[in-house]
Every structure is written in C-alpha cells, then in structure tokens.
Structure 1
Amino acid sequence: MEDRGIREALDRHWAASAAGDQDIEHEIYHDDVITDYPQSGERIHGRRNLQALRSGHPAKLDFTVRRILGSGDLWITEYVIAYDGKPTPTISIMEFRDGKVAHETQYFADTFAPPAWRARWVESMPHS
C-alpha cells in the first residue's frame, strides 16, 4: 500500500476513534497485531483483544489529532485523548505490514504546569 492509502486508513482510524466506532477503528489492525503500552508494561496480543480492551474503557473519550507523520511502513500520530475531559498528550507509533498495523506502541503523558523559572524563554502553545 502506498503512503496515500496508509494516510487515508489512518484518517479513517482516528475519525472512527473519535466517533466511538469500534469496528471501523480496528479495521486498520492485523488480526495478530501487538500493541505495547511501555509506561504500564502491558502488551496486548491480537486485534480482538485490543478492541475488547478499548471497548471496555470506563471513561468518556475524546480524540484530537495534532499531526500525522510517516512514510512506508512507519507512521507516528501525535494526538490528545481526553479521558472524561482530562487531556492526555499521546504518541502512537504504528508499524505496518502489507497495509495493516502489525505493531503499535503508544505513549501517554500527563500534563503539568510550566515552572516559572523558564518563563522568559517560552511561550504558550496554541490549543488544538
């Protein structure tokens, strides 16, 4: 699959994630996908387990994609997941095989207030 096809699949995936459409959201994955959450040390084997895990999430989820970068078989999405309104900046690294995701690694970051000592060198980022 060429880059344009993967990008279209990613756009469809993230739109389905935002809409809560679990079936379309998980079309992008191989049946034997491996998904890693390094911060919690968890690994999910298989599309069915991944979909079941995500379907059972107790929070209301909202997704805002900031940007998608990639080519070939490696794509990175920077986005924000809001869990019951609390934003969590997130990075998804997707490795494709034959046009579907074979491995995904997701990093979730807590937000924090910037320290006052560096105020003279920084500006606030726009919210997206």
Structure 2
Amino acid sequence: MDAMLDHPQSGDRFRGRETIAAQRGGHPADRHFTLRITGHAHVWVSECVTIYDGAPSYAVTVMGFVGHQVVHETQYFAALFGTPAWRSALAEPTLGRTIEEA
C-alpha cells in the first residue's frame, strides 16, 4: 500500500514512501524533535516541537493507518504567538518557551 503526506498550509502533497522519505531526509537544518503520540486503531495524532537550527516549530500530525502502516498523514504547522496580558499570570511556559505578552 502506498502513502501520502499533506501539508495543507503550503498546499504540498507528497505521494509514495520514497518521496516522503526524501522530503524528510533532505532537510538542510539541524533538527531536534520532541513528540507526544496518542491514538487508537486506525487514527493516531502526534504533537511535535521541532527545533530547526535553534528555532522552535510546532506541528500536529494526523495519521491514518491500514494494518500497521501509515497510509495518509496530514501535518498542520502553527506559528508562535505571545501570551495576552490578561492571562499571563495564569500561564506557565511549555517546552523551553518563556511567557511573552502579545
């Protein structure tokens, strides 16, 4: 069974396991990952913080499985934003971030 990877925000689609592996393996940045994966049966979700050359990038990936193989994956990337002043006293930082007012 073949696989597909979508990036809705850029409009990119990568078809086939070889193409997906080449897309992931060809990245020029120094990368480090922190993952949390949850799911059941045919749908799994990963929350990922990727540090690209020292700068964090946040993503959520929804993966569809057939058997033990991922057949469709969609990655959503989020831009960083500061904490509004009204809730900064209630918040605590996550994964190396600091509370910065927006």
Superposed, which structure 2 residues align to 1:77-96 within 5 Å? 77-96=46-65
* 2:75 aligned to which of 98, 101, 106: 106
5 Å-filtered alignment, 1:1-128, equals: 30=1, 32-65=2-35, 67-120=36-89, 122-127=90-95
Deviation at 1:40, TM superposition (A): 0.5
**d(CA) in 1 for partners of 2:19, 2:94:** 36
1:53 Cα offset (Å):
1.2
The alpha carbon displacement at 1:115 in A equals 2.3
Larger mean CA deviation between 99-108 and 52-61 belongs to 52-61
Cα displacement (A) at 1:51: 0.8
How well do the aligned residues superpose, as a CA RMSD in angstroms?
A: 1.5
Q: In structure 1, how many angstroms separate the alpha carbons of the residues matched to 2:34 and 2:10?
A: 23
What is the CA-CA distance between 1:114 and the residue it aligns to?
1.4
Q: CA-to-partner distance for each residue in 1:61-80, whole Å, 9 max, x for gaps?
A: 11011x21100010001110
TM-score by length of 2: 0.85
Residue deviations 1:24-67, cap 9 Å, x none?
Answer: xxxxxx5x1010001101110001001111111111111011x2
More helix per residue = 1
| SS of 2:80 mapped into structure 1 | coil
Q: Where does the alignment leave 5 or more consecutive residues of structure 1 unmatched?
A: 1-29
Gaps of 5+ in 2: 97-102
Percent of aligned pairs with the same residue?
A: 44
Q: How many residues matched?
A: 96
